[in-house]
Every structure is written in C-alpha cells, then in structure tokens.
Amino acid sequence: MNAAAESFVQDLLSKTDHPILKHSLSNVASDPAAFAGRFYANLFAAMPGLRVLFPADLSEQQMKLAQTLAMVVSGLDESDAMVPLLRRLGAAHRGYGTKPAHYQVVGDVLIKTLSDTCGPDWNDDLERSWQRLYQWVAANMIAGAQAAAHAGAKPKF
C-alpha cells in the first residue's frame, strides 16, 4: 500500500470506523472460542489445503485469533504503533507458510464469520469498516513478510 493510500485508510479508521469496529467486536468477545471455531471451520471449508499449515489442536490458535482481533481494534487509536507489530506478525506468518494469496481468502472468511457472529447488527457500513481494517492489516502483514523474504529469512515449512 502506498503512503497516500495508507494515510487515507488511517484517516477512515481513526475518524469513522473505530467506534463501530469496537462495538462489533463485543460480539466476538462474548464467546471468542466459538467465533474462532467458526472462523477456522469456514476457512478450511473455503480452502481445505490450508489445514496442513495448522496444528491438529486449534485451541491455542483460536485464542490467538481472538486476541489479535482485539489487539488490532483496540490499537487503532495508536495505529502507528501497530504497524511494526503487524509487520512482525506477517514475517512470522511467512515462516508458517502463508502466501500473499492466502490473505484474500482469510479476509473473505473473516468478513463472513463476523457477519454471522454479529447477526442483525451487521450492515453495509460495518462490512466496509471491517474490510478497510482488514486491508490495512493485510497490507502491513504482507509488507512484513516481503521484508523478511528480502532479508533472507527462511520459511519454517
């Protein structure tokens, strides 16, 4: 993402999206394990080949997903501080075998799972807010993965 696009996304997130993202996250926080379980079920249904990238027992991974969502949404007030964290997360995911193409599928599945979780609270504005947030997160994670690749970091797979 170029600097102008990132600035635009930052502005949208900080001025309009943050309150509704935070509010919608309460639906996830009410039962994070159930949300994460639905997310991974949806992910593996959408792209069965990804299952091999994850441990057999997903309980720890499920908690990490819920915690990461909470961290990202709560960190929007200080999004500049989030960028290095997201880039390290992207570098780590590269090490697990994540490819840039996986981010689109994960984003689509995340939006679907959030929509299902929020039920009647879900609307077009909320969907666009989550899409903008996910695009920003994915762009920073991909940048972190690319930096790791250029630095010569070897994937773990």
pLDDT for position 74 = 87
Instruction: Identify whether the C-beta of residue 93 lies closer than 8 Å to the C-beta of residue 141.
Output: yes
Q: How far is CA 111 from the centre of its chain?
A: 10
> Is the pLDDT at 155 greater than 70, yes or no?
no
Instruction: Identify whether the C-beta of residue 110 lies closer than 8 Å to the C-beta of residue 42.
Output: no
Long-range contact list for 43-52, CB < 8 A, 24+ apart? 43/105, 43/106, 43/109, 46/105, 46/108, 46/109, 47/102, 47/105, 50/102, 50/105
pLDDT for position 95 = 84
Report which of 89, 104, 96, 94 is spatially closest to residue 47, judged by C-alpha positions: 104
- Residue pLDDT, tens place only, 64-111: 999 999 999 888 888 888 999 999 999 999 988 888 899 999 999 999
SS3 45: helix
Which amino acid is located at 114 in the chain?
Answer: L
Q: How far apart are the C-alpha atoms of 51 and 44, rounded to whole Å?
A: 6
Q: How far apart are the C-alpha atoms of 73 and 13, rounded to whole Å?
A: 10
Instruction: Identify whether the C-beta of residue 97 lies closer than 8 Å to the C-beta of residue 49.
Output: no
Q: pLDDT band at residue 57, thresholds of 50, 70 and 90?
A: very high
> Is the pLDDT at 54 greater than 80, yes or no?
yes
> Is the pLDDT at 21 greater than 60, yes or no?
yes
pLDDT for position 18 = 84
Residue 2 sits at φ, ψ, to 5 deg, of -75, 170
- Indicate whether this model's pTM tops 0.75: yes
* Residue that is written with structure tokens 């992207």 in the block: 90
pLDDT for position 79 = 82
> Is the pLDDT at 153 greater than 80, yes or no?
no
